[in-house]
Amino acid sequence: MSEFVDECGLNVRGGDGGAGAVSFRREAHTPMGGPDGGDGGKGGDVWLVADRNTASL
């Protein structure tokens, strides 16, 4: 194994989580249940995994 060390820059972007949902709680004994939708998720994760057996990008 050589002692050569290289460096590269990567630009990555995860998701934004979506637009959420508009919905209202519906229960038998609660006439105006109120909203139960959401703001969407937290967005996607980005994972980088190195493999010492790979020689190039």
Domain range summary for the chain, segments of one domain joined by +:
1-43
The three-state DSSP-derived secondary structure of 32-48 is CCCECCECCCCCCCCCC
Residue 56 structure tokens: 């190039």
Instruction: Specify the higher pLDDT residue, 5 or 57.
Output: 5
7 Cα distance to chain centroid: 26
For the question of whether the overall pTM of this predicted structure is more than 0.85, the answer is no
Q: What is the mean pLDDT of residues 12-32?
A: 76
pLDDT greater than 70 at residue 47:
yes
Q: What is the pLDDT of residue 1?
A: 64
